[in-house]
């Protein structure tokens, strides 16, 4: 059975630096979100919009979160858990927009070799009215090693966004989000520029600057439990005991894995 996926498109709040945004989203907000029950995986992608390849309107998203669930009921934690109300409140500290798309099984299609998931990664946001399947096929033909295509057309993010922007339904104009992996940035830049031209400037592309796995196999990772700065401190001190499962579960409970 195909996993269910939730995609979040995130815009940084004005007045917060990019560095603070990245640190807060990963080490504060992300650590909170990693405690929501039911996540099979939760991955943060810290991204930069490509503003110089011909897109007519560049949505200023700087974060894309991808969450998967093993079963339909597992998504209930995203709505009803004790953590959720605190997540909503914390979004006011960080995001100008937080658009959450809950996708049904089959809305995410992955093409290519999973071994390339650590290669250079780029996202493409496709508006309604363009053929995302054709765009994905063109990117594969141009050399993309792998593509994950998320069909947003059946999802409505209006019920989640609790930040300071009234979308008035405009956010529903996004029809798909695609993540593509490439063997090198030069090849990716040329192919994405061609895709933008072919779309008449309507698609927007983003480079992945950093990727953080916060939850894997249903358990929070060490970064998801403690944040990256603490993990780096543990590594610097060569404190292997701080990775032991018995210690992590004593501190954080069964969510530690």
**Span of 101-105, 140-144, 153-157 with lowest mean pLDDT:** 153-157
List of residues 6+ apart from 203 with CB closer than 8 A: 55, 124, 125, 126, 127, 130, 135, 195, 196
Mind listing the pLDDT tens digit for each residue in 202-251?
999 999 999 999 999 999 999 999 999 999 999 999 998 998 989 999 98
Separation CA 78–CA 58 (nearest Å)? 29
The percent of residues above 90 in pLDDT, for the chain, comes to: 72
pTM for the whole thing?
0.92
- The more confidently predicted of residues 57 and 117 is 57
Mention the CATH class of domain 4-220: alpha beta
Decide if pLDDT at 132 tops 70.
yes
Beta bridge partners of residue 227, listed in sequence order: none
Mind listing the pLDDT tens digit for each residue in 84-115?
899 989 999 999 999 999 998 889 999 887 66
List of residues 6+ apart from 102 with CB closer than 8 A: 4, 6, 75, 78, 155
Average pLDDT, the chain: 89
- In sequence order, what E strands does the chain have? 4-12, 41-49, 61-69, 95-103, 108-112, 120-127, 146-151, 174-182, 204-216, 219-220
């Amino acid at each position: 059975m195909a996993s269910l996926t939730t995609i979040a498109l995130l815009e940084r709040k004005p007045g917060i630096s990019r560095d603070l945004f990245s640190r807060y989203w990963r080490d504060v907000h992300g650590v909170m979100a990693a405690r929501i029950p039911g996540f099979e995986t939760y991955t943060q992608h810290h991204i930069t919009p490509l503003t110089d390849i011909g897109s007519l309107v560049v949505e200023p998203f700087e974060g894309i979160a991808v969450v998967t669930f093993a079963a339909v009921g597992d998504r209930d934690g995203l709505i009803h858990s004790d953590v959720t109300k605190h997540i909503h409140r914390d979004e006011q500290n960080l995001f100008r927009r937080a658009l959450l798309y809950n996708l049904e099984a089959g809305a995410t299609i992955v093409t290519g070799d999973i071994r390339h998931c650590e290669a250079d990664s780029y996202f493409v946001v496709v508006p309604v009215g363009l053929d995302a399947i054709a765009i994905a096929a063109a990117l594969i033909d141009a050399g993309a090693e792998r593509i994950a295509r998320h069909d947003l057309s059946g999802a409505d993010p209006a019920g989640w966004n609790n930040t300071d922007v009234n979308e008035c339904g405009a956010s529903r104009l996004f029809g798909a989000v695609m993540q593509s992996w490439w063997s090198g940035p030069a090849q990716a830049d040329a192919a994405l520029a061609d895709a933008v031209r072919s779309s008449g400037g309507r698609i927007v592309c983003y480079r992945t600057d950093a990727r953080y796995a916060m939850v894997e196999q249903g358990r929070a990772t060490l970064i998801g439990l403690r944040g990256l700065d603490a993990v780096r401190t543990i590594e610097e001190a060569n404190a292997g005991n701080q990775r032991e499962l018995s210690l992590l579960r004593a501190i954080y409970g069964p969510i530690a894995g």
